[in-house]
């Protein structure tokens, strides 16, 4: 009986090793690089503030990154400002880049916190942290995180007003 089990065990071990080797190959991808390249005000409803966040996605890999949905959260000066989702589809080519425009919503609480900082007119430049993912086919996702400095448009939270220069 054991002479019949040994080949079966060897076959199962070989199949398991092949599967693990295949999964390991997926982990060799470098993460995509995502940077904020633009902000534009959008029309909101009621007390809602919305803007269009433009992201430059760079793919440093030898294979294209296919996505079917985008999600992002934007923290500004250490507190959450906005989040957004889109069902747009696309492909970031191998060793290529693409700009993705994502509508973002600002909750009232976040809008009040940020508006207080902007009301003095002394701060229109902020540090940001961006987190999100490009959802791919078959449950695959490219997660990203980025940090940097962001210059806000003067009319992002309402009608244009004069602001003092950034010091």
CATH of the domain at 48: 2.60.40.1820
Is residue 163, in this structure, part of any structural domain at all?
Answer: no
Comparing CA positions, the residue from 85, 95, 79, 83 lying closest to residue 128 is 79
Residue 16 contacts by C-beta under 8 Å, 6 or more apart in sequence?
none
| Confidence (pLDDT) at 112 | 73
Contact 131, 76 (CB under 8 A): no
DSSP state for residue 32 in the 8-state scheme: P
Is residue 21, in this structure, part of any structural domain at all?
Answer: no
Q: Over the range 110-125, which residues count as b (16 or more CB within 10 Å of their CB) and which as e?
A: bbeebeeebeeeebbe
| Confidence (pLDDT) at 161 | 44
Domain that holds residue 124: 30-151
Question: What does the mean pLDDT of the chain come to?
Answer: 80
| Confidence (pLDDT) at 166 | 43
Residue 63 clears pLDDT 80, i.e. is over it = yes
Share of the chain above pLDDT 90, in %: 43
Is residue 15, in this structure, part of any structural domain at all?
Answer: no
Residue 53 clears pLDDT 60, i.e. is over it = yes
Q: Can you tell me the mean pLDDT for 29-47?
A: 89
Is residue 156, in this structure, part of any structural domain at all?
Answer: no
Residue 97 clears pLDDT 70, i.e. is over it = yes
Is residue 10, in this structure, part of any structural domain at all?
Answer: no
| Confidence (pLDDT) at 44 | 81
Is residue 16, in this structure, part of any structural domain at all?
Answer: no
Residue 61 contacts by C-beta under 8 Å, 6 or more apart in sequence?
29, 30, 94, 95
**Distance between CA atoms of 10 and 121, rounded to whole angstroms?**
72
Is residue 93, in this structure, part of any structural domain at all?
Answer: yes
For the chain, what is the domain count? Answer: 1
| Confidence (pLDDT) at 46 | 79
Residue 155 contacts by C-beta under 8 Å, 6 or more apart in sequence?
41, 161
Is residue 2, in this structure, part of any structural domain at all?
Answer: no
């Amino acid at each position: 009986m054991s002479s019949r089990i040994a080949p079966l065990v060897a076959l199962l071990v070989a199949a398991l090793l092949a599967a693990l080797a295949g999964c390991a190959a997926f982990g060799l991808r470098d993460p995509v690089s995502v940077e904020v390249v633009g902000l534009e005000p959008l029309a909101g409803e009621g007390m809602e503030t919305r803007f269009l966040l433009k992201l430059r996605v760079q793919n440093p890999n030898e294979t294209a990154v296919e996505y079917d949905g985008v999600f992002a959260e934007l923290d500004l000066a250490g507190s959450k400002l906005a989040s957004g989702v889109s069902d747009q589809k696309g492909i970031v080519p191998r060793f290529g880049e693409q700009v993705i425009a994502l509508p973002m919503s600002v909750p009232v609480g976040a809008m009040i916190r940020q508006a207080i900082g902007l009301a003095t007119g002394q701060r229109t430049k902020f540090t940001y942290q961006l987190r999100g993912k490009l959802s791919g086919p078959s449950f695959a996702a490219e997660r990203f995180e980025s940090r940097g400095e962001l210059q806000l448009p003067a009319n992002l939270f309402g009608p244009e007003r004069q602001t003092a220069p950034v010091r």
